Chain A
Amino acid sequence: MKGGLRAVNAAAAVIVSAAVLYAAFFGAGPLPALGPAFNPVTGAWTMANDAAIGSETLHLFGLNQAVKVSLERDGTAHVVAQTDHDLFLAVGYMHARFRLFQMDLLRRQGEGRLSEVVGKAALDIDRFELQLGLLRTAQQEWNALAPDDVARQALLAYAQGVNDRIAHAEADHQLPVMFTLLGYQPKAWTPIDSLIVKGDMTQTLNFTDTPLVMALLEKSLGADLVSKWFPVLPPNPQSPYDPGPYPGQATVTPIGPVAQVTDAEAVAAGDAYQRLVSLPPGLLATGGNSNNWAVAGARSASGGALMAGDPHLHLTLPAIWFQLSMDSPAYQVSGVSIPGTPVVLIGHNRHISWSLTDAQNQQTFFYLEQEDSAHPGQYFWRGAWQRYQTVGYDIPVLGGATQHLTLKLSVHGPVITERGQTTTVWWAGNIPSQDLGVLLGIDRASSYQEFRDALRGWYSPTHNFVYADDRGDIGLISAGYYPQVAAARPWLPMPGTGEDDVTGTIPYDDIPQVYNPPEGIIWSANQRQVTDDYPWYIGTSSFFNPGYRANEIHRVLSQGGKLSAADMMALQTDTRDFLASEMVPILLAALPSSPARDLLASWDYRMDTNSAAATIWWAFWQAYLDETFGPDWKSHHVTLDRSEVSNALGQDLETWTLHDQHNPALQIAFKTTVTNLSKQLGPDPNTWTWGRVHTRVLENLAQISGLDYGPRADRGDANTPLAAPDFPSSHGPSWRMVVDWGSGTFSGIYPGGQSENPASHWYENRVDAWWDGRYAPMLSAEQAASAPGTVTWSLDP
């Protein structure tokens, strides 16, 4: 080889080697550092090792005494500890052992640190979260805990357990694969991180944009139409669980004509609305879909109280839930927990059981701050100019420069937009509260009185807590903060000058609640809990679910005869659409015979995958809404997507149709339906089965579509007890639990698996059973220890 060629050869070798080594050590573009990532010993392949679960003995720093953990064949964990401290430490270890990346994502989301690991794509999310203030609230909550507070002790021990697992995983090269692929190490867990995770859930369930939506609608549709279409009280027949009597006199009045939303207010509302709706699913409450109910011992076949609960959430893999039982001197509790928090959120102990649905009352208020160019950096409040408080944050960005965020806060809360008119947001989730202590109190409670006393301190998100116990008693209480505002229109952004501030909450004894009602049944499904006579403002009809699931549940439970646990399970997977049962008979009366009509005539109103009538019904209802509201939407140039308010408009249309059963729009909409379905699915109506258009998907939490489950044809719709809104549906029953205190049986199932490791058998091993409506027995620790296939871990000091 000549000298020149040798030099070229050497240069090429140097350049190619340098490039490959750089990519191997540091990654390139979206690629992770290839060497550490694919290293067969310590890289992503270790997920195979992680997936292999066997009996083992582990040494945990901070434990006082040995802890025994039994892992059932399906992954359910049973932790038995000699002290409460050791119990929480071990639970922290178990959560981190199976869900560390999920926990890290949850805390990063709330702390505004996602950009640090995924880059600038998450910058808007981080900015928003830091503005909203979960981190500030969690810090205040932590600082307010007394040194001997039970919750403080639990949080500290839990954090120690998580950090023990992080240390083990780092030493054994067993960090979850996503850490390896993203190329970062988890930082130490702190108690504030746990409070952040709780804040994430509060945000998901109770931070809403409804007042902004109403402002935009009022600007375009006008006050008269908004008053008519979006009333304070629901226009349609509903099934409130607390029928009264109530203290005091009714003060709730329908929305009257009010001053138009100004241009500046509309600009502000539009800007803030766009910011919020562009956030990923789960950061904004978009309407709940959860069920729970209880049956008194006198109405049950077993003679003991029955209870059922299925909270509906964004369905992800891994799931939001981790199933376990916790046993120590003070706690004997079993159910589901949220990784990152040391409590059972839904479950039972030896005497009581509980579940929850979102109460949906208005907990988010927007304020229009009065400003003046003569007073820069200030706002007018209670007769004086006040200076905004400012807070600064640095947001590290992967592959980019650290971004600095300075935000302003008024007395109402953070500034969310300065376009048009400066707008701040007051959110109940930002009130420092000790909700974790409340949950620990529930875990320890042994009677309704103790349960109710514990809930007295619950703030947000407001939940309908259903209760049943081993004495046959049942109860339901919608615990939480109910902001009261001295304003004419709290459902719109309000003046921030002080007259419309939140003045307090409804007294605890006056919030919606029932205990051992005479009919022996109680139920909630995100409907308005009280009748029109209730004297306190809790939100307009737009905040609550239209009530079809609640009506259906009430209908089934009200039928005569004794009820069993099997009946509870059947109701949880019920696909009967209550709205269809009201509307279809009216529609049939208005239509001449046709193949499509005949399918509806023989339909049982169940949204099953093989039902063509289900498809016809659903398409008809959308066409009927279009036919009724479309012209006004167009003539008023409403830019808001009508689907944003389809629940509220649906209630109006339902009510009008019940009162006027000869509406010509019925026939027009049906004709449109048949035409559209023929084009979409072919000419034969018998083939228009629901499963062809309606699917469900369980989405991977890291948004890796290859790790999703589905999409797969599935039953149900937004109105059925087995809720499956949207196309494809990724929202629904995140956990189903049925309790029969008479027979002492507890059953539960959630879609997913205990492990976040996609190579693990426990990644999605429960999905098929959940899909089919099957349940698994919730074993005690003693039962689990002797069950076939159980693996035992000894956690030693």
Chain B
Amino acid sequence: MRWIGAVVVFPILATVGVMLGAWWAPFPLGLAFGAVQPGARFAVPVGALIGSVGWSIPLSASESRFGLGPAAESLAAIMGFGHMAFVPVILTLLAGTLLGLLGAWLGCAGRTLVQPASSRTRASVSADGGTPSSR
């Protein structure tokens, strides 16, 4: 349950951070999640979720308030993608996703260096009641 809670809380924190102008917030949040969650196969997708939610909710808010169609078309034109307005939207979400994902990956990788896999498994089991985070 703790990890499920974290999966909800971290994206919310990322969204708040981005809304306050800290566009990089998904990275440290992903990093933190990856560092405390023992298992890359779980942490990295969640990191990506943190980033994508953190950037897509503010973007959706702008879309609902102002409409992003003309802005997306303009950005596509500026970037040399003609009228393919979906490209900047995808690239934007990709950027957010990448920030969270890389943070989580780095967190996980750092943790594996500091803490061997066997001890991480034990720690995880003792703390979480058996979440299959390491195989």
Contacts and interface: CB of A to CB of B under 8 A. Distances in A.
A43 B23 CA distance: 9
Interface stretch (B1-9, B66-74, B125-133): B66-74
Interface in A678-714: 704, 706-707
A24 B24 contact: yes
A181 interface: yes
B71 A47 contact: yes
A41 B98 contact: no
Contact of B110 (A10, A12, A24, A47): A10
Nearest to B40: A9
Q: Which of B80, B98, B108 has the most chain A CB atoms closer than 10 A to its own CB? A: B98
A38 interface: yes
B60 to A, nearest CB: 9
B58 A40 contact: yes
A173 B99 CA distance: 22
A757 B74 CA distance: 9
Contacts of A6: 109, 112-113
A760 B59 contact: no
Contacts, number: 125
B92 A45 contact: yes
A400 B78 CA distance: 24
A34 B117 CA distance: 35
Given A41-B19, A41-B23, A43-B23, A13 B74 contact: no
A354 B81 CA distance: 44
B18 interface: yes
Interface residues of A, number: 41
Nearest to A42: B21
Given A10-B109, A17-B105, A706-B82, A758 B74 contact: yes
Contacts of B92: 38, 40, 45
A6 B114 CA distance: 10
B133 to A, nearest CB: 13
Contacts of A16: 102, 105
Contacts of A52: 65-66
Nearest to A34: B95
A41 B18 contact: yes
Interface in A37-66: 38-45, 47-49, 51-52
A14 to B, nearest CB: 7
Contact of A758 (B62, B77, B98): B77
A6 B109 CA distance: 7
A25 B99 CA distance: 12
- 9 nearest interchain CB pairs? A706-B77, A39-B23, A758-B74, A13-B109, A10-B109, A40-B59, A759-B70, A48-B71, A48-B66
14 contacts: A6-B109, A6-B113, A10-B112, A10-B113, A13-B105, A20-B102, A21-B24, A21-B27, A36-B23, A42-B23, A52-B65, A706-B76, A707-B77, A707-B78
Interface of B: 18-21, 23-24, 27, 55-56, 58-59, 62-63, 65-68, 70-71, 73-78, 80-82, 88, 91-92, 95-96, 98-99, 102-103, 105-106, 108-110, 112-113, 117
